[in-house]
């Protein structure tokens, strides 16, 4: 039976949207904490880039945030992003979605829904997506100051855009990282971005060399912060050990269909360090909804819960499941359909009940927790 819902107002200082709870349930909100004024006031933290003692709280980057705030600091010193992010990965996949007007429509929809952070990579769309997005920004100069931009570098694809590449490979040389970011800035038609990520761990990465160029790019104002993607905790710790600035993010695959980071230490590490993970393919790249190849019981459960929480989008429930994690992941929505983006963004309104959360985990893994 579908339950009615009561709307729970956010605490006045949060600025967050309304949160939906099943009728009759009450949840206490933590009082908003306050930003750490300076890192040196903490009993632990970074001194010349070395982590010197225990980081005291899981909420380092969640200053002034409430559990369901629509914005979050990636790290205590890091940029502030929207809790839900939109990824531009797929916009070059069809003629329709690569039209400039269509990209602008999707970005407008994101902004209306409180999604201001946009994820790119140099290689998306066979190295074409950033330039399409830059064209859109040139036609809509009003958008630039309303969004935060993330891009990545380090993967070298084969194909017509890079005929000199004989084999897919990684390039983590300082020269390549600098050249890649400068090309991204030109393509996006902006003078800086908010976050530069190293796209994949690279067996040939020289941590000291990479740290040097990342620090220089931040000092030059070309990116406000730096981070990594798809890194294990030890790969993260190695690079951080050579850096005098904090890595602000680890962008990882994370969804109800890919829960490995819950158990392999990745999310523990993020919570310990107070670094927000960014969750790519939060709907399993759309495979979540494939009843034939996927998990039909999971689709049915998410659909039922979408009714219970009155959002009518099983995808929004899958995103709300991620938002409930204490490491505060930022799911990156990959849909190119503005209508879908709008309904998925309702995830931010859902405060998923504890047992619903575990029911989803059990159905996704096919077994109860031990």
Q: Least distance in Å: CB of 354 to ligand NAP?
A: 24
Instruction: Take residue 46 and report the two structure tokens written for it.
Output: 């970074």
Q: Give the start-end residues of each E strand in 204-299.
A: 226-229, 247-253, 276-280
Residue corresponding to tokens 């829960």: 259
Residues in the chain: 370
Which one, of 30, 25, 53, lies nearest residue 41 by Cα?
Answer: 53
Q: Interface with ligand NAP includes 251 (CB under 6 A)?
A: yes
Size of the site for ligand NAP (CB under 6 A): 25
Please report which helix (H) or strand (E) contains residue 318, including its range: helix 314-323
Contact region for ligand NAP (CB under 6 A) — 46-54, 157-165, 188-196, 274-282? 274-282
Question: CB-based contacts of 138: which residues, under 8 Å, 6+ apart?
Answer: 189
Least distance in angstroms from the C-beta of 139 to ligand NAP: 21
In whole angstroms, how close is the CB of 46 to ligand NAP at the nearest point? 24
Closest CA to 156 of 168, 144, 141: 168
| Backbone phi, psi, residue 360, to 5° | -65, -45
Window 223 to 242, contacts with ligand NAP (CB under 6 A): 229-230
Q: Single out the residue of 115, 57, 105 nearest to residue 85, CA to CA.
A: 115
- Taking CB under 6 A as the binding criterion, the range among 1-9, 174-182, 322-330, 332-340 that sits at the site for ligand NAP is 332-340
Contact status, residue 6 vs residue 335, Cβ threshold 8 Å = no
Q: Identify the residue among 15, 49, 67, 285 touching ligand NAP (CB under 6 A).
A: 285
46 among known catalytic residues: no
Task: Pick the closer one to ligand NAP by CB: 17 or 281.
Answer: 281
Under the criterion CB under 6 A, does residue 114 sit at the interface with ligand NAP?
no
- Chain Cα centroid distance, residue 348: 14
How far apart, in whole angstroms, are the C-alpha atoms of residue 312 and residue 1? 15
Contact between 318 and ligand NAP by CB under 6 A: the answer reads no
Nearer to ligand NAP, 46 or 231 (CB): 231
Give yes or no for residue 90 binding ligand NAP (CB under 6 A).
Answer: yes
Work out how close the CB of 97 gets to ligand NAP at its nearest, in angstroms, rounded to a whole number: 7
Q: Which of 69, 281, 295, 327 touches ligand NAP by CB under 6 A?
A: 281
Q: Which of 65, 77, 119, 194 binds ligand NAP (CB under 6 A)?
A: 119
DSSP secondary structure letters along 335-365: ---HHHHHHHGGGGGB---HHHHHHHHHHHH
Q: Restricting to residues 168-227, which ones interact with ligand NAP according to CB under 6 A?
A: 199
- Binding residue for ligand NAP (CB under 6 A) from 45, 79, 87, 277? 87
Using CB under 6 A, list all residues that contact ligand NAP.
87-90, 119, 199, 229-230, 251, 280-286, 289, 315, 332-337, 340
Residues involved in catalysis: 124
């Amino acid at each position: 039976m579908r339950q009615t819902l009561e709307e729970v107002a956010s605490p006045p200082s949060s600025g967050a949207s309304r949160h939906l709870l099943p009728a009759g349930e009450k949840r206490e909100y933590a009082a908003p904490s306050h930003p750490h004024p300076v890192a040196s006031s903490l009993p632990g933290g970074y001194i010349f880039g070395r982590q010197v003692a225990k980081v005291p709280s899981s909420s380092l980057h969640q200053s002034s945030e409430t559990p369901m705030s629509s914005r979050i600091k990636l790290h205590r010193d890091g940029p502030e992003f929207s809790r839900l992010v939109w990824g531009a990965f797929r916009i070059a996949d069809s003629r329709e979605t690569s039209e400039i007007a269509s990209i602008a429509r999707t970005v407008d929809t994101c902004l209306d829904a409180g999604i201001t952070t946009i994820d790119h990579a140099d290689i998306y769309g066979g190295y074409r997506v950033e330039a399409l997005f830059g064209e859109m920004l040139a036609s809509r100069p009003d958008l630039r100051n309303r969004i935060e931009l993330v891009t990545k570098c380090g993967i070298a694809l084969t194909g017509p855009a890079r005929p000199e590449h004989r084999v897919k490979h990684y390039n983590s040389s300082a020269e390549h990282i600098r050249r890649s970011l400068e090309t991204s800035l030109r393509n996006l038609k902006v003078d800086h971005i908010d976050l530069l990520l190293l796209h994949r761990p690279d067996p040939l990465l020289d941590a000291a060399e990479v740290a040097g160029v990342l620090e220089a790019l931040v000092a030059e104002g070309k990116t406000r912060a730096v981070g990594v993607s798809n890194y294990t905790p030890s790969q993260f710790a190695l690079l951080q050990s050579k850096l005098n600035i904090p890595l602000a993010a680890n962008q990882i695959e994370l969804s109800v269909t890919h829960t490995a980071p819950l158990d392999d230490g990745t999310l523990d590490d993020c919570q310990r360090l107070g670094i927000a993970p960014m969750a790519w393919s939060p709907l399993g790249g759309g495979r979540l909804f494939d009843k034939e190849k996927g998990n039909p019981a999971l689709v049915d459960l998410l659909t039922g819960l979408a009714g219970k929480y009155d959002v009518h989008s099983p995808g929004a429930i899958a995103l709300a499941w991620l938002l409930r994690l204490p490491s505060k992941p930022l799911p990156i929505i990959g849909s190119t359909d503005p209508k879908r983006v709008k309904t998925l963004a309702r995830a931010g309104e859902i405060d998923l009940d504890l047992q619903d959360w575990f029911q989803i985990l059990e159905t996704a893994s096919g077994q109860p927790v031990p």
